[in-house]
């Protein structure tokens, strides 16, 4: 199989590239390195430093002729989507349309699109949320990611493009950038390893669904290879909510940090409590997370400790 992975120098997609190459597949990467890093790029992959909005993306498709496209590249920060909604829509909607049109032009067999389970549903009416839950995003990021799902439905209907949309939870693990606004587990562990107090926004009782990156990679591989996932929107999650205060407590124990967190006001555009049901993923793809949150956090701390 020949795969094209957008955002393949980033945290999650670089792990997927490694897995695909390990499994014997040929992989090309498109990434503009705005949030990805060269050190994440598997040397056996073909790398194109390019924005997904670039018209020259067609040249990559022309040269590589991928069987499968896995589309991770995105503007992924909720807070940035609030402050720069035009940029968020330009990248997440405009860039994705560019990817989709090239998939059609070059007869890609399937597109795996990375959506969000944490932001499309808004404040949930029930927990855990499943795919039948109403879509009421309260951030521009949630709107832009959901909008692309409609384009996928349309182009499947009109042009026969096969797709799977995976609605992600909060993903964590090695290579997650610990100095931005996203990735509370990476941010907390990096700070506490240095003896610095992390900041908790709001009361710390916000609930999120956390899944380790290796389990997320497995979901992508199944979406690529299992025809039961064709033309489906599928939640990927643990069905369990963990609070920011829980994360602080677990990482505090793992790092030996002896301080207390800094308190700050809650941030605009963020859902208060969300965790998602992955019953559909289990039913049609046989997927469920294998690693517990507590063990995953310990692995993350050890990874960051090993890198100093």
Shared domain for 204 and 216, answered yes or no, is no
The length of the chain is 308
Q: pLDDT confidence of 181, banded at 50, 70, 90?
A: low
Query: pLDDT (tens digit, 9 = 90+) per residue, 237-257?
Result: 999 999 999 999 999 999 999
* Total domain count, the chain: 2
Same domain assignment for residues 165 and 21: yes
Structural domain of 177? 172-208+239-306
Q: Which helix (H) or strand (E) holds 14?
A: helix 11-22
Q: Does residue 241 contact residue 273 with C-beta atoms inside 8 Å?
A: yes
86 and 229 co-located in one domain: yes
Residue 208 is predicted with a pLDDT of 94
Residues 246 and 101 in one domain: no
Residues 43 and 140 reside in one and the same domain:
yes
CA distance 114 to 164: 9
The verdict on 202 and 249 lying in the same domain is yes
**Are the C-beta atoms of residues 146 and 305 closer than 8 Å to each other?**
no
> Global pTM?
0.95
Write down the pLDDT at residue 307.
85
Shared domain check, 274 and 224: no
Question: Do residue 148 and residue 102 come from a single domain?
Answer: yes
Per-residue pLDDT of 191-234, as tens digits, reads 999 999 999 999 999 999 999 999 999 999 999 999 999 999 99
pLDDT at 180 over 70: no
Check residue 183 and give its pLDDT: 85
What does pLDDT average to over the chain? 96
Residue 65 has pLDDT above 80, yes or no: yes
176 plus 165 within the same structural domain: no
- Residue 178: pLDDT over 90: no
CB atoms under 10 Å from CB of 11, counted, come to 24
- Rounded distance, CA 38 to CA 60, Å? 19
Instruction: Tell me the pLDDT band of 279, cut-offs 50, 70 and 90.
Output: very high
* Main-chain dihedrals φ then ψ at residue 59, nearest 5 degrees: -65, -35
Residues annotated catalytic, as ranges: 141
CATH of the domain at 160: 3.40.50.720
Rounded to an integer, what distance in angstroms lies between the CA atom of residue 16 and that of residue 221? 8
pLDDT (0 to 100) of residue 107: 98
- pLDDT tops 70 at residue 133: yes
Same domain, 101 and 216: yes
Q: How confident is the model at residue 187 (pLDDT cuts 50, 70, 90)?
A: very high
Same domain, 20 and 72: yes
Question: What are the Cα distances from residue 111, in Å, to 71, 155, 232, 233?
Answer: 7, 11, 11, 12
69 and 186 fall within a common domain: no
């Amino acid at each position: 199989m020949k795969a094209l992975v957008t955002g393949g120098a980033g945290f999650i997609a670089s792990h997927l590239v490694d897995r695909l190459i390990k499994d014997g597949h040929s992989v090309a990467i498109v990434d503009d390195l705005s949030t990805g890093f060269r050190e994440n790029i598997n040397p056996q992959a073909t790398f194109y430093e390019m924005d997904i909005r670039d018209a020259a993306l067609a040249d990559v498709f022309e040269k590589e002729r991928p069987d499968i496209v896995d589309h991770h590249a995105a503007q992924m920060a909720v807070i940035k989507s609030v402050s720069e909604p035009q940029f968020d829509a330009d990248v997440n909607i405009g860039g994705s349309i560019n990817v989709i049109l090239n998939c059609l032009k070059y007869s890609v067999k399937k597109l795996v699109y990375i959506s969000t389970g944490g932001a499309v549903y808004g404040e949930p009416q029930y927990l855990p949320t499943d795919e039948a839950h109403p879509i009421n995003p309260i951030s521009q990021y949630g709107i832009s990611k959901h909008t692309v799902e409609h384009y996928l439905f349309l182009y499947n209907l009109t042009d026969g493009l096969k797709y799977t949309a995976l609605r992600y939870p909060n993903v964590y693990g090695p290579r997650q950038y610990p100095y931005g606004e996203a990735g509370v587990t990476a941010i907390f562990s990096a700070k506490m390893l240095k003896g610095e107090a992390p900041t908790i926004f709001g009361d710390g009782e916000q609930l999120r669904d956390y899944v380790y990156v290796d389990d997320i990679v497995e979901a992508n591989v199944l979406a690529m290879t299992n025809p039961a996932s064709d033309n489906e929107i599928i939640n990927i999650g643990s069905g369990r909510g963990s609070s920011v205060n829980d994360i602080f407590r677990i990482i505090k124990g793992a790092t030996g940090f002896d301080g207390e967190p800094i308190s700050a006001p809650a941030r605009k555009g963020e859902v208060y409590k969300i965790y998602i049901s992955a019953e559909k993923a289990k039913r049609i793809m046989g997927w469920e997370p294998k690693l517990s949150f507590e063990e995953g956090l310990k692995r993350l701390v050890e990874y960051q400790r090993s890198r100093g």
